[in-house]
Structures are given as C-alpha cells and as structure tokens.
Structure 1
Amino acid sequence: MMVPVAVIAFLGCRFAIPRRGARGQARLDWSGFLTLAISIACVQLMFSRGQRLDWFESTEIVAAAFLAVVAFYMFLAHSLTAEKPFIKLSLFKDRNYSLGMILIFMFGMLNFAPVVLLPPLLQNHAGYPDTAIGIFIGWRGFGTLIGFFVAMLTARIDPRAMMMVGFFLQAYGGYQMMQFDLNIGETQLAGWSMVQGAGIGVTWVPMTIVTFYTLRPEVRDEAMSMYHLLRNFGSSLFISIAVAEIVRATGNNYARMTEAVSPFNKLWSMPSSAGSWSIESVEGMARFAREINRQAIIIGYVNAFWMFALIGFAAIPICLLARLPKQKPDKA
C-alpha cells in the first residue's frame, strides 16, 4: 500500500515544486553537524535509560549529561565563529521562526506519543486484539486527513487561530484519555483518536506558514532542516519521558497499594470485598497482585496523558505571539 502513495508523492514533488537556479557547491560543516548530533544523542540516551539506571546515580547517565553539555557548547561556539556553520544562528533573530521552533518542538512531543503508548496499553492490559488496535490508529489517521482538508478550506482565517484550535483538539483529546480505565470502550477510543488526529492536521499547515512567512526563500531550506530536526527530537524525547513516567508510577503505586493488603485491614470484611478476592491462598494472592499491577500501570498511563494534555494547552498562548506582517518579508 505504501508504494502507490510514494509514487504519487514523488510525481507531485517532481512536477509541482518549482526548480531554483544553482547556488554553488554546498559543503557540509562536519564540526557543527557532529557536535549537534552527539549532543542530541546523549540527551536521548539520558531520557531513554535514566529511569532504569536510577538517573544520576549511574555513571553512564552522568557521562551522557556531561557529553551533551560539552558537545552543545562546542556546537554553539563553532556556529558563532565559523564562516559557513551547519546552522546559521542568525535565523533565530526572526521572531516567527524562533516561535515556530518552540511550537514544532511541542507539536513533535504530541505527534507520535499516542501511537506508541496506546498499543501496549490496549493489547497487554485491556485485552484488545492487534486488528482492533490497528483500526483505532487508522481512525487517528483519518482525523489527520480531515484536519488537513479543514486547514486548506479555512486558508483565509488567521493561522494563529487555526493553530490554537489544533493544539486545543490535541490537548483535549489527551485530557479525555486521562479518564480512560481498563474497561475502555471502542467508541471512546476511536472518537478521541480521531479528534487528536484532526488537531494534528489543523495545526500543521498554519504553523508551517507562520514559521517561514518572514524568512527569505534562499534560507528556507536550511531553516526547514532545523524545523524537522526539532519535531523529531520532540517526538522521541517525550516518548522517552512518558515511558519513564509509566515505569516510575507503576513501581511507586504498586508499592503503595500493596501496603493495604493485610488480613488486619477492615476493608476485607466489607460485603463488597468478601468473596471477591482472597489473600488466604497463594493463588489468591497471585491473582490480587496481578490486579494491583494492572491498576498501577493505568495510573502511569494517566500521568503520561496528563503531561500530553499539559503540553498541548501550554502551546495555545504561544501561538498568539506570532506576527503576520503585511509588508514584504524581512531578511533572516
């Protein structure tokens, strides 16, 4: 199924995008590229393995943090002094571009997180089969498609308003997912997945327009590379943070809930508890421990969706800071 779509995309790029004249032989700034790559890789390593290695109690995490800081300092120093740096820091003097970098980073944090977090939750703890999970993800894609068409049809509307609507849809979808439990309904999942997808589509087009509106065409290629770099970095970073929070919350809440498991707890004599669960046998204790673990896991997922919603709502006021000048675009 991917091949026909790829062919259509290739033909669209080939015939729809205008060609530009030659701009001379471009040379890659290896020093800037490698120092930035090392810094990002070390930050990603920290957040991916930090929870398992007990964060800064681990020599590996301390070393990764040190390398990330040193490499990023070298990148900044080199970019400020090199004749042709990997990324021209002068681009960030443009207000819209700087705001766009913040927004695309937050957008990236919201973009793929549900696609990564929901499947293991639904399959391992809610009992959904793979085909049903694929359908739920498909509804999200359908919502994204609708969002793109809505953004095209509302091109005359202030793009800042469209961005705010898009981020609100994503944030509100995350807020609703905070209400999920292990008895999640199919209609609920499909509906809120589609709402989040629509938010992505509505946000993307106006956010890209606002970010590059005031940049000169000859610097947009370079600016676009940084744009997508931050989007991808935001996606991977938030997924790492969310997974770390799920692991942390699962362990902490499992320990707290098992504190109440005792034959001396008066709750075991309540009619609602008597006969439902048993801690008198090994089998009963094992079954009860599995249920406590399931509940602890869902609390971790609720925390992750809370962070998801918080980022979406935090992005809304930032959209108001963007400018839409009517005059000729200024230099970067």
Structure 2
Amino acid sequence: MQKPQGFAKVIIVLTTITAAVMELLDTTIVNVALNQIAGNLGATIEDIAWVITSYAIANVIIIPMTGFLGEYFGRKNYYLGSMILFGIASYFCGMSESLWELVLWRFFQGIGGGALLSTSQAILFDAFEVEDRPIAAGFFGMGIILGPSLGPVLGGYFVDNYAWNDIFYVNIPVCILATILTIVFIDRKEGEGKNRKNMEIDYIGIALLTLGIGNLQYILEKGESENWFESRTINTMAGLCAVGLIGFIWRELTTEHPVINLKIFKNKVFAMSTIFNLVSGFGLFTSVFIYPIMVQRINGLSSTETGLSLMYPTLLGVFLFPMIAKYLSMGGKPIPVMGVGICIFVVFGFIGGSATPEMGRWDFFPMHLLRMMGVAMLQMPLINQAVAGLKPSEYPAGIALSNMIRQLGGAFGIAVANNYATHRAAQHRTDLLANIQAENPWFQQRIQGLTQNMLQKTGDFVKSGEAAYRQLDAMVNKQAYYLAYLDTFRLVSVVFLCILPFLWLLRAPKKTKEELEKIMKASEEAH
C-alpha cells in the first residue's frame, strides 16, 4: 500500500496530532475549573473530583483495547466513531445540570478519547516509512506534551473570562473539522475490518480488564481522600482489582482470541520500555500537578498566570521534538538521548526543590524550559523504542499498552505526590512547631508584632491575641506545605535516578537493511 505524500501526509499529521492533543488536553483542562463547576452544580469539592476520575477511569479501560477494537470494526471506522462520540459527549458535558450527569458524560468522553490517543499514533506511524518512524514519533511526542500543558491555560482563560461550560464546547468545532479531514484524507487499509466474521470477542477478558483497571484507577485517584487502606471502600476496590488483573492476565495468556496480546511482553525491549513509560508518565504528570498547586498557594499566581507559565516553555520545547526525530532518523542512537533526558529531569527536580516563595511567573521559566528538554529527550526516543523490537502485526497492541502504562504512570505519580506532600507537610509542621516555645525570643517578638497589628484594627486585646495565634498557625501551615512541595520535586529526581542504570536493557537488536525491507513490507500488509 502506497504511503500518503505531500499535502495528504501533512493533513494526516495535523489531524492525528490535533486529536491526541484534544484528548490529553481534556485530562487537565477541568483542573482549574473545579471550584466553579462545584459552585454552579451545588456539589462538594470531594464529589466534584469525580469529574476528573470518571474520565481517567474510562481512558485507562479503553486504551489497551483500541488495537482489538480497531481491527474488529476497521481502524478508520473506529477512529471516526470515537471522534464523533468524543464530540457528542463534550456537548452534553457542557449542557449538564447536575454533578452525576456531568460525571456520566465525562465517562463517555473518556471512552471516545481513549481511542483518539492510540489510534492516532497508529495512523500516524502508518503514514511514514519504517526508517522515518522516528519523525512520526517526534510529531506524536509534541502532542503528548502539548495536551497536558495547554489544558490549564485554556481552562484558566475560559473560567476567568467566560463560563466553565466553554471548556467542553471548545472541543466540538475541532471534532467536526477532524472528522471531515479523516473522512477525506485518511484511507482504509486493505482488508480493514473484513476479518470481523472470523474474530471472536473476548467478553470475559474485557470484563476482567474493566474490573481490574477500573478499580486500580479509582484507588489511585481517590485513595488519599479515602485514607487509603483504612477505608473499607478502598480495601474492597483493592480486592476486586487483584481479582480482575490476575484473572485478566490468566485469561489473555490462555485464550485463542485475546482482546490484548500480552505475549508481546516476552520481548525484553518492550517489557523494559513499559517501565520507562511508567516513570515518564510519573514525571510528566507529577510535575504538572504539583507546580500549579505550589505557585497558587505559596507564590500567589492566578489560574491564568499559572497556565501561561507552563505554556511558554512548552511551546519552545516543542521545537526539540523534530530536531531529535531528525537525529534518530539519520541513525542516531536513542539510548544516549534518553540518558541525557533522564539526567535533565533529575536536575529539574532538584532545581524545583530549591524554589522560593518570592519567585514570580517568569522566574520559573528556566526551570520549565529544562523540564521540556527532559521530556523531549526522554519521551521522543521512547515512543519509537517501545515498538522497535515488535513485529508490525504487534504494533497496535504495543502502542495501546504503552499509552495505557503512561496514563497509569501519571495517575500513580499524582497519587504518590499527593500522599507524599500531605505526609511531608505534617512532618514539617511538627518540626516547625517545635521551635514555637514561650522562651524562644523570635516567637515572642513575632507574636507580639502580630498582636499589635491586630489590636490596631480591632481595639480588643484578647481577640487580637487569639487572631495573632491563628495568623501564626496559618503561616506555619503555609511554610509546611511549601517545604513539602519542594520535597516532592526532589522525589521526582530520586525516581529518575533509580531508573537510569536500567537504560542498557532497552537496547534493541540492530536490524540489517534486508530485515528493515521485510518489516516495511509486512507493515504495509499488517492489519
């Protein structure tokens, strides 16, 4: 099958990248709008978190099945159907008049969006020759970092200037345009969807996957607010998760028609790449999660300012992806590039762990530019390396599993960061309170100054003293959380340091020219 050329190829690149950006953007765009949504729908802050959780659970459930569903329905049909579902669900999200109505449509939005990520990558890779796949990986990597980074910017802009509903309506014109471009420019592969009659749907495998992954995602999203394993709900979910995952693995390895081909984990390079994908998701999502909380609570940045401080370095960092892709397509070695990316992430974590409360928006620019360099140099080669040792027929399963692992890494990272920051804040508060003693001259001077300030406003000495202690307590809490956020940035560095020695396990056997030609031919014939 002839590869698309010229204008058609450009349109395919733009369409698939836009779809991937849109899907990932919706994972973070609602984060800065939760307060407004809660107030409008009359929901509590704890319940409103389901707006994020439902989307994430749907994403993680559907992503590993995209390879099978694309083969069953035909990749183009599945891609179009998912895009239309995403657009319709976005419309009803904006029209929702109750919390649980919004949660339901966010789940359907996640079902449609999950396919946009993996199927976009597969379509994009198919548009390039095998030796040019690093360039395709570069384009796709741009989408992976743009989506989560642009989400808070657009979310903050719409919340500050319009209504929270608009963060969902913005998807609709993009979906319509992408649907039209897909119909016109993306061709069906020869024989696409024609094997449906000979395919058996592994309903048991799908049910077990949904049970295991759905409960795992719930635990990661809600564990902190439910006090982890002190909660009966979390313990029940953990048991169901174990049953689902163990049963799913057994089912997929023994059935003749698995919904996900887990046997590709026999490939050492792919198996190791999943670990790096997990850590990559951990670093990408954790840094984007902790930074906005810190600068809004400690440095006083608004939602829009926070989003912009993330966006500008991201846009500059995007230029690195084509450069790295060009280097790899010319025969450059991916392992050293990934090693440099990991080292940059280590430096980024320690620099983030040295931030001060006085820093403004532009003071964080060098730090985030460094983060983008690390993401580009780690993520770009990893996207290509994850399928480097697989057969073309195994690409759909490999791509889907890689994307699922990255999403789980992000969810795991956010859960760990949230839990770690909370515990470190409690420890720092205890340490700070140890210095607040009656005989401490600094404490006496500070409390007297606060009391005098309050006395000038109230004229009541007793109430001024009580207000001064409350103000001091708030200052201690703020300092404790500030130190905890710095610790969390350093934790990111430690995690990346731990995986650095395992880079050598990612080396894929070098293929001869004849083998590359066979892979190219098989890739064109693969479903």
Fold similarity call, TM over 0.5: yes
Residue aligning to 1:314: 498
What pairs up with 1:50-89 in 2 under 5 angstroms? Answer: 50-89=223-262
**Following TM superposition, by how much is the alpha carbon of 1:77 offset from its aligned partner in structure 2, in angstroms?**
1.5
Secondary structure of 2:386's aligned partner:
helix
Alpha-carbon distance in 2 for matches of 1:90, 1:206: 23
Residue aligning to 2:216: 43
Q: CA RMSD in A?
A: 3.0
Encode CA deviations 1:85-141: one digit per residue, 9 max, x unaligned: 122221011111111111111111112222222222212221112332122111232
Residue aligning to 1:182: 357
Task: From the superposition, tell whether residues 241 and 126 of structure 1 become closer, same or farther in structure 2 (CA, over 3 Å).
Answer: same
Q: 1:287 aligns with which of 442, 464, 471?
A: 471
**Following TM superposition, by how much is the alpha carbon of 1:17 offset from its aligned partner in structure 2, in angstroms?**
8.1
Encode CA deviations 1:54-84: one digit per residue, 9 max, x unaligned: 3322212221221111111111211121111
Matched residue type, 1:248: H
Matched residue type, 1:77: W
Alpha-carbon distance in 2 for matches of 1:135, 1:205: 24
Alpha-carbon distance in 1 for matches of 2:353, 2:232: 35
Residue aligning to 1:299: 483
**Following TM superposition, by how much is the alpha carbon of 1:275 offset from its aligned partner in structure 2, in angstroms?**
5.9
Query: Which deviates the most, 88-97 or 311-320?
Result: 311-320
Aligned 8 A contact 1:166 1:202 in 2: yes
Residue aligning to 2:5: none
What pairs up with 1:259-270 in 2 under 5 angstroms? Answer: 259-268=434-443
Alpha-carbon distance in 2 for matches of 1:15, 1:182: 51
**Is 1:258 paired with 2:442?**
no
* Higher relative helix content: 2
**Following TM superposition, by how much is the alpha carbon of 1:278 offset from its aligned partner in structure 2, in angstroms?**
5.2
**Following TM superposition, by how much is the alpha carbon of 1:15 offset from its aligned partner in structure 2, in angstroms?**
4.9
Using the aligned pairs only, state the percent identity: 19
Task: From the superposition, tell whether residues 70 and 5 of structure 1 become closer, same or farther in structure 2 (CA, over 3 Å).
Answer: closer
Residue aligning to 2:134: none
Alpha-carbon distance in 2 for matches of 1:188, 1:154: 31
Aligned 8 A contact 1:101 1:227 in 2: yes
Aligned 8 A contact 1:246 1:300 in 2: yes
Residue aligning to 1:222: 397
**Greater relative contact order (Cα < 8 A, sep 6+):** 1
Can you give the 5+ residue segments of structure 1 that lack an aligned partner in the other structure? none
Encode CA deviations 1:287-312: one digit per residue, 9 max, x unaligned: 21111011111122122212211222
Task: From the superposition, tell whether residues 149 and 231 of structure 1 become closer, same or farther in structure 2 (CA, over 3 Å).
Answer: same
Q: 1:204 aligns with which of 379, 404, 409?
A: 379
Aligned 8 A contact 2:301 2:361 in 1: no
Secondary structure of 1:154's aligned partner:
helix
Can you give the 5+ residue segments of structure 2 that lack an aligned partner in the other structure? 1-169, 453-463, 523-527
Query: Which deviates the most, 209-218 or 149-158?
Result: 149-158
**Following TM superposition, by how much is the alpha carbon of 1:159 offset from its aligned partner in structure 2, in angstroms?**
0.6
Aligned 8 A contact 2:285 2:413 in 1: no
Aligned 8 A contact 1:143 1:198 in 2: no
Aligned 8 A contact 2:208 2:245 in 1: yes
Matched residue type, 2:218: L
Alpha-carbon distance in 1 for matches of 2:350, 2:188: 42
Query: Which deviates the most, 92-101 or 201-210?
Result: 201-210
| TM-score between the two structures when normalised by the length of structure 2 | 0.57
Query: Which deviates the most, 54-63 or 72-81?
Result: 54-63
Alpha-carbon distance in 2 for matches of 1:153, 1:16: 24
Matched residue type, 2:353: M
| TM-score between the two structures when normalised by the length of structure 1 | 0.87
Alpha-carbon distance in 1 for matches of 2:355, 2:238: 35
**Is 1:125 paired with 2:309?**
no
Query: Which deviates the most, 184-193 or 287-296?
Result: 184-193
Secondary structure of 1:87's aligned partner:
coil
Secondary structure of 2:435's aligned partner:
coil
